[in-house]
Amino acid sequence: RREQARLRASVLEEDTEPWQKEPQFSGLHRVGGVDLSYSKEDESRACASLVVLSYPDLEVLYQDCRMVPVTAPYVAGFLAFREVPVLVEAVQRLQQEEPQLQPQVLLVDGNGLLHPREFGIACHLGVLTDLPCIGVAKNLLHVDGLVRDELHKEQVRSLQRSGEAFPLTGASGKVLGMVLRSHSNSSRPLYVSVGHRVSLGTAVALVRACCRFRVPEPIRQVRHPWGRYSTP
């Protein structure tokens, strides 16, 4: 908790890059996605994956998928301590081997400020790499009074068109993220939250712009060694 609080103080919740302020993000050329996927046979081993896509074409420029040992136990609220070290290593390999392909922003399969201590994996990775990061989760994390109750379900059903969204306001009164209908063919929303060096509005707009299907391409294109892509 002390380490999370220390690093949380470094999180920037606003746009810091020129491309974030440009129409259609005209200065953005490379978008990354990261994920850690566990082997069904042995949960002490996982595939740490990083992909970089061109923007706005969303074509794969770089892929790194490596099986790694996972030694830290899973503890709710502290997932980043289990997963971030190997994801940081993946980013560092890219910076050393193909520095011209470094992503200008990372989409993370997980949460950012939408977290019990407002410091999810997207925040943790962002602070340690100093890259803009966005949390993109497929399910609602029940924090600060947020629950997937009937009111929440009704709000989700009210999202009729691709790009429509509503804020996730906790009992504290703080907006922790946005619920986004990312594609017209899927009624299941995404839960977008700030990780680091990006505003919530920019995060939502970019996630939507990266969606050919429900899940944004930088995360969907993460490929695992057992021959499947991330969940569509």
Placement of tokens 């299941």 in the chain: 188
Domain hosting residue 120, numbered range:
1-221
Peptide bond into 56 cis (omega under 30): yes
**Is 229 part of any domain?**
no
Q: Say yes or no to pLDDT of 153 above 80.
A: yes
> Within a domain: residue 231?
no
Task: Report pLDDT for 77.
Answer: 79
Tell whether 10 is covered by a domain: yes
pLDDT in tens, 86-138: 999 999 999 999 999 999 999 999 999 999 999 999 999 999 999 999 999 99
Measured distance CA(119)–CA(99) in Å, rounded: 28
- Render the chain in DSSP notation, one character per residue: -HHHHHHHTT---S--SGGGGSGGGTT--EEEEEEEEE-SS-TTEEEEEEEEEETTT--EEEEEEEEEE--SPP-TT-HHHHHHHHHHHHHHHHHHH-GGG--SEEEEES-SS-STTS--HHHHHHHHHT--EEEEESS----TT----HHHHHHHHT--STT-EEEEE-TTS-EEEEEE---TT----EEEEEEESS-HHHHHHHHHHT-SSSS-HHHHT-EETTTEESP-
Average pLDDT over residues 162-179: 96
Residue 165 confidence (pLDDT): 96
Q: Which pLDDT does position 231 carry in this prediction?
A: 42
Residue 39 has pLDDT above 80, yes or no: no
Q: How confident is the model at residue 226 (pLDDT cuts 50, 70, 90)?
A: very low
CA 223 – CA 46 distance, rounded (Å): 12
Count of domains observed in the chain: 1
Residue for token digits 């046979």?
A: 41
* 228 inside domain: no
pLDDT for 33 equals 97
Higher pLDDT, 228 or 119: 119
Asked if the model's pLDDT at residue 228 lies above 50, the reply is: no
Residue 59 predicted with pLDDT over 70: yes
Type of residue numbered 86: V
Q: Which pLDDT band holds residue 70 (cuts at 50, 70, 90)?
A: confident
Is residue 226 a part of any domain in this protein? no
Task: For residue 109, give the CATH number of its domain.
Answer: 3.30.2170.10
93 within domain boundaries: yes
